Amino acid sequence: MSLLFALVAGWFGQDGAPPADDRPAGRVSADGLRSDGAAAGQSAAQWPALPADQYRYTLAGQVVNVADGDTLTVRPAGQAQRRIRLANIDAPETGDGAARPGQPFGVAARRELESLVAGQQVSLQCYEEDHYGRDVCDVLLGGNDSANRRMVAAGYAWANQQGKGKHLRDTYMLTLERQARAAKQGIWAETGAIRPWVWRYDCWQQGKC
């Protein structure tokens, strides 16, 4: 009985709460990719340039909410809040009620994005406004780095290839996804990861969850 108690206590922690995150532990894989999404011995400054020639407008403001792994809200100074859809990526769905269940790693993806930008002043380079009224943007982190790229590199989002890739302007996302998959990071730590755009159709629209 004492051994069983020790095992349970070790899982739930001293305060009796379950683990706060469902992310796998960090690791360095054989190809040198760390669990924080950066290649070991390589900084984001060595990544290729962002697709600046495709940006149409800029925004800046404080991140006041992170809804999920690819959606946040910013408050520009003296303006109304703006909802931002991170461009070029698609993160696991967190779910919206019983009819729209979430995916594995949906909560972990949201927490990953929070760790990058929550509460911060950010600059955004934007491509367009989508049909939900959200600005579709890259969230800049300096140089050639972006929160969008970090999410894919860490294994918490896919390169968005929905609609035969029409939403993918930053093609370097494909390389980052391939590296994260090889390193078994984030969503790639388990087999059978379902792309969010497939999940939304099969599960949410067709009821095949």
pTM over 0.85: no
8 A C-beta contact, residue 109 and residue 156: yes
pLDDT digits (tens, 9 = 90+) for 147-194: 999 999 999 999 999 999 999 999 999 999 999 999 999 999 999 999
- Sketch the domain layout of the chain as residue ranges: 48-205
Residue range 136-153: mean pLDDT, rounded = 97
The catalytic residue positions are 85, 93, 134
Query: 48-205 has which fold?
Result: OB fold (Dihydrolipoamide Acetyltransferase, E2P) (2.40.50)
CB-based contacts of 47, cutoff 8 Å, min separation 6:
144, 145, 149, 172
